[in-house]
Amino acid sequence: MASLNIIGYIIYNLKEIIITLIIAYIFKYYYSWYTRENPIPGPIPLPLIGNLHQIGRDLSKEAIELQKKYGDIYEVMFGSTRIIFINRAELMEKVCSTALKNNAFAHRSIPNPGLDEMGLSKSGISFNMDLEAWKFNRRILTHTIMSPIFLRENIFLINQICDEFETYWINLLKFENNKIDFAKWSSYIVTDIIMTSITGKKSYSTAIYSNSLSNSIKSEIPENIVNESLKLIDSIYMFVSSVLFFFIIPPIIRHNFPFIKSIQKKYKDNSDWLNIEFEKIINKRKQEIENFPIDQQIDYNILNLLITANTERDINKISGIDYTRPMNGVEIRDTIKEFFAAGADTTRNSICFILYYVLKYPEVKDKLIKEFESVYGDLREKPNITHESLDKLIYTEAVINEVTRIQPPLPVFFRATSFDTEIAGYKIKKGTQVFTNYIGIHLHKDHWDEPEKFNPDRFLKDNKHIVKNSLLNFGGGIRICPGRHWAIRNLKILLIRLLTKFDISLVDPDSPLKSEYDSVQHCNELEIYIKEKMINV
């Protein structure tokens, strides 16, 4: 009878009980926040969502605003997860340590349920929490995409893609007009470059886009290839957007809020579909390699190199007892998925940003063309681009460094503490997420003279004047991007081919760069005029 009275009391006073519990929860939440040990400056969070309402969609922009308000190190809450932002080069010493042993920042992320759901925390290299597996994957990548033979052979494939898009542009000039949105073109051109470099097979994405624009000359492409390519391209870009979504949005929100829940399902279904498609590509390629004569050299694309690393086809097997086995299917799948995701989006946005600044500053464009002439001779002829010649383009690399300093495609990136450490006098416990605000560091007035000014010449001086860890285009330390040499060469080749084949100018030189943050910094639009130069090919 007493139990019935209690139940009746609860039902009768349910509203008051719920309100009391909510107040108690809020009190406990803020008590814990205000009494936390060794607090770092930062905005006051809300229960459940933390500071997500302040961060909004544009994480890079808000990171700068918070830096102005709270200084070079501050903390925010993403749901119940504490995030520490670092915005100064001197504070990056431990984060950018190259030591593998006793490295507090060896991990990219703390244990994260969203990354677990995406299957990213146990494979690949970006978010792999298993350091032994990560070391093995990283060693394989050093053996393949960082090898001079891959970088040398890949130039031929990239030049083929450039030959193709040049043809499409020339046809457009003959029958259409000379104004294009390079932001759209770059997406398809770079997708072709990444697809060809990774698999050795064309995606036909540039041809598909060209056909969609032109009412005159069209490339013949089988319909099934068109559909497959477009779906794969869309899926890869959706996967890029989904990573930050799963990383930041807490499970309680992703699983229970109707609108957010539908987005999660869309992203998860896309990731599962992408896994299946990559597995099909890998299995088909493995069969082709098995049927290929053992005494003949296979093509030097990334997929072939990953499949054959440490097999009888690998003439330079990796030494060291921990690295002598081949990669398994899941390791290969997740590695090439990361290459597609990271390589395509960052490269396509980087070339847009670079072209914008080059065209906005005609004196920089003139210097680039003079350097191309000094290395390749008469530019009325098609440049003979080689591995060695790309290393001679010192000013070109200075331009790339300066653009990516001001406009990094990855303005914010992640690390996590694997044991207790200290930064700037603040004790940081094991399992704390740390974000590096690249823009905050790249534009810091204590690191650079006139940091807001576009000045590639600053990189032509002795490197001693550059503050350590003040330029983080490809990250730093043990987690530095393994594809950085490949990426820089891709950007150099694209610049050479664009500026030597065409006269290019901005439609509106006074218009600011149109970009927004969505996992990476996206160039939304880049309208340019193109005019063919008279070159004897």
Q: Which of 25-29, 43-47, 395-399 has the highest mean pLDDT?
A: 395-399
* pLDDT > 90: percent of the chain: 46
Average pLDDT value for residue range 415-423: 93
**Where is average pLDDT lowest: 55-69, 217-231, 408-422, 439-453?**
217-231
pLDDT of residue 357 exceeding 90, the answer is yes
pLDDT in tens, 171-227: 888 766 789 999 999 988 998 998 889 888 888 888 888 888 766 667 777 666 666
Q: What angle do CA 27, 28, 31 make, to 5 degrees?
A: 85
Average pLDDT value for residue range 341-365: 92
Average pLDDT value for residue range 514-527: 87
pLDDT top residue among 482 and 442 = 442
Cα 450 from Cα 284, distance rounded (Å): 53
Cα 535 from Cα 348, distance rounded (Å): 26
pLDDT of residue 63 exceeding 70, the answer is yes
Average pLDDT value for residue range 86-115: 91
Average pLDDT value for residue range 395-423: 93
Average pLDDT value for residue range 370-391: 92
Residue 96 marked in a binding site = no
pLDDT top residue among 56 and 330 = 330
Indicate the pLDDT class of residue 537, thresholds 50, 70 and 90. very low
For the chain, domain boundaries: 36-532
pLDDT of residue 466 exceeding 70, the answer is yes
Q: What is the CATH number of domain 36-532?
A: 1.10.630.10
pLDDT in tens, 275-305: 999 999 999 999 999 998 888 888 889 999 9
**Letter for the amino acid at 457?**
D
Average pLDDT value for residue range 506-518: 90
Compute the mean pLDDT over every residue in the chain, rounded to the nearest whole number.
87
| Confidence at residue 353, expressed as pLDDT on a 0 to 100 scale | 96
**Please, how many CA atoms are within 13 Å of residue 392, restricted to the half-sphere of its CB?**
13
pLDDT top residue among 506 and 28 = 506
Which pTM value belongs to this model?
Answer: 0.89
Average pLDDT value for residue range 416-443: 93
Decide if 82 contacts 432 (C-beta within 8 A): yes
Closest to 526 measured CA to CA, from 312, 310, 351: 351
b (16+ CB within 10 A) / e for 204-221: bbbbbbbbebbeeeeeee
**Where is average pLDDT lowest: 57-66, 222-231, 316-325, 483-492?**
222-231
pLDDT in tens, 230-273: 788 788 888 888 888 898 888 888 888 888 999 999 999 999 99
